[in-house]
A = this chain, B = another copy of it.
Amino acid sequence: MEDRLAIIHDMESSVRSYVRSFPAVFTKAKGCRIWDEEGAEYLDFFSGAGALNYGHNDDNMKKKLVEYIKDDGITHSLDMASTAKVAFLETLRDVILKPRHMDYKVMFPGPTGTNTVESALKLARKMTGRTEIVSFTNGFHGMTVGALSVTGNSMKRRGAGIPLNHTVTMPYDDFMEEDTHDSLHYFERFLQDNGSGVAVPAAVILETVQGEGGINAARMSWIKRLEEICREWGILMIIDDVQAGVGRTGTFFSFEPAGISPDIICLSKSIGGYGMPLAVTLIKPELDDWIPGEHNGTFRGNNPAFITAVESLKYWADPDFEASIQRKAAVVEDFLNEMIAKYPDMKGRRKGRGLMQGIASDVEGFSEKVAEHAFEHKLIMETAGGSDEVFKLFPPINISDEDLREGLTRIEKSIQDTLKSHVSS
């Protein structure tokens, strides 16, 4: 073990992070399970930070992928047309967009979350002729300079090495704790008063649930009101659904319960289904006024990922699929509420919605410790929030009830371990 990790330590840049929390060399995986080279088996309640919503190496997708590769299907084709791309577009249209009465053009930016965000910001600025973008406190949208400029985290922002401009941060729902008048009123006042120093922006960019920022879930009424403000002022609404989308919250798009109609939607992570890089920017047709090649990239059509994406989207053709996620989400919710009540020393608050939930502990360092103990119990789980104050549960959305229960059991043990070692000390 040591030897195998040593090469990582010797050769990989100090920027590496998760390998520090999960010091093992992983080798195989299936569903919610992952094995290291020593043969140890782990439950994965991390799911690639939302890139593995269907679990690891789904059998259907795997079968199609292997066939495709064996048949010498096109692997790389820039943005030329391919059989795989055509199939993806058709399936996206027929299974996802049409049933939801959504009409969008599909853009393939580079295959990462930050790239779909960069494409969305560019297009919003181009179509409005304005420069400013409004983002929200504790938003996270990516690490390239454009996406970083709408990201809240101060450590990551400093990493840019240059000032990050052309953006204004507004308070997310619930940012002002004693929120007697809601935080959108601030935004409105800044828009209304032409001495506010804040120009009407090109767009707002919003995560309906903030994954990295602490599993903060905005209320549907807040999201709806934000859309109204955008309409009133001619501001484009960009939903960054990279982490919260593709079923993570119980519906395909995270914003569906709010009944809004975003101008631009950013998807990545689980849109490829199998954990291979893919990103998609959905654009209302009237806004799709790019010059050919105005935003491009080498890997903007990843054909193997199209193949697995097509299979993954078929889950959504099953009329019971959403209900099954929501049912499991309720299990998690009940469990977390129970934990908070049962272990008051944890000083916990439940965060998030769907299968994107967690507990924020007001005890310093508590949540990190829970995640550490979980790893000892062979469960992989991440923390979130500016001070890592939240431990977050990201099981696959198609996890079995048994596996889910097993994971929750291990998490309770980890809480108990932490309370013993941490709080009592």
Interface code A292-328, partner B: CB below 8 Å = 1, 0 otherwise? 1111111100101000000000000000000000000
- Whether A4 pairs with B81 at a CB distance below 8 angstroms is yes
| Docked complex: A9-30 residues within 8 A CB-CB of B | 11-20, 22-30
Q: A186-B176, A196-B169 are in contact. Are A294 and B155 (CB under 8 A)?
A: yes
| Docked complex: A161-178 residues within 8 A CB-CB of B | 161-163, 165-169, 171, 175-176, 178
In the assembly, what is the distance between CA of A74 and CA of B26, in Å? 7
| Docked complex: A349-365 residues within 8 A CB-CB of B | none
A338 within 8 A of B: no
Closest beta carbon of chain B to A356's beta carbon, Å: 15
Residues of B within 8 A of A12 (CB): 89, 105-108
In the assembly, what is the distance between CA of A283 and CA of B12, in Å? 10
Partner of A81, one of B25, B168, B386: B25
A341 within 8 A of B: no
Oligomeric state, in number of copies?
A: 4
- Whether B125 pairs with A161 at a CB distance below 8 angstroms is yes
- Whether A293 pairs with B15 at a CB distance below 8 angstroms is yes
Interface residues on A, range: 35 or more
In the assembly, what is the distance between CA of A48 and CA of B302, in Å? 12
- Whether A34 pairs with B74 at a CB distance below 8 angstroms is yes
- Whether B90 pairs with A386 at a CB distance below 8 angstroms is no
A267 within 8 A of B: no
In the assembly, what is the distance between CA of A76 and CA of B268, in Å? 13
- Whether B299 pairs with A13 at a CB distance below 8 angstroms is no
A257 within 8 A of B: no
- Whether B118 pairs with A195 at a CB distance below 8 angstroms is no
- Whether A202 pairs with B161 at a CB distance below 8 angstroms is yes
Q: A51-B76, A194-B155, A274-B75 are in contact. Are A181 and B176 (CB under 8 A)?
A: yes
- Whether A126 pairs with B198 at a CB distance below 8 angstroms is no
Closest beta carbon of chain B to A367's beta carbon, Å: 15
Closest beta carbon of chain B to A188's beta carbon, Å: 10
Residues of B within 8 A of A195 (CB): 137-139, 152-154, 213-214, 385-386
| Docked complex: A372-400 residues within 8 A CB-CB of B | 385-387
In the assembly, what is the distance between CA of A347 and CA of B22, in Å? 61
- Whether A122 pairs with B161 at a CB distance below 8 angstroms is yes
Residues of B within 8 A of A159 (CB): 122, 126, 291, 294-295
A8 within 8 A of B: yes
Interface code A18-49, partner B: CB below 8 Å = 1, 0 otherwise? 11101111111110001001000000000011
Q: Which residue of B lies closest to A129 (CB)?
A: B161
Residues of B within 8 A of A122 (CB): 159-161
Q: A112-B111, A152-B195 are in contact. Are A145 and B145 (CB under 8 A)?
A: yes
In the assembly, what is the distance between CA of A204 and CA of B131, in Å? 24
Closest beta carbon of chain B to A148's beta carbon, Å: 8
- Whether A137 pairs with B193 at a CB distance below 8 angstroms is yes
Interface code A54-81, partner B: CB below 8 Å = 1, 0 otherwise? 0011000010011001111111111111
Q: A34-B74, A122-B159, A299-B51 are in contact. Are A11 and B106 (CB under 8 A)?
A: yes
Query: Which 7 A-B residue pairs are closest in the complex by CB-CB distance?
Result: A125-B161, A76-B275, A145-B146, A169-B197, A15-B290, A144-B144, A13-B107
Other CB < 8 Å A-B pairs besides A122-B160, A139-B195, 12 of them? A8-B85, A12-B106, A14-B289, A15-B295, A22-B80, A26-B82, A28-B71, A29-B72, A48-B77, A113-B298, A124-B161, A131-B161
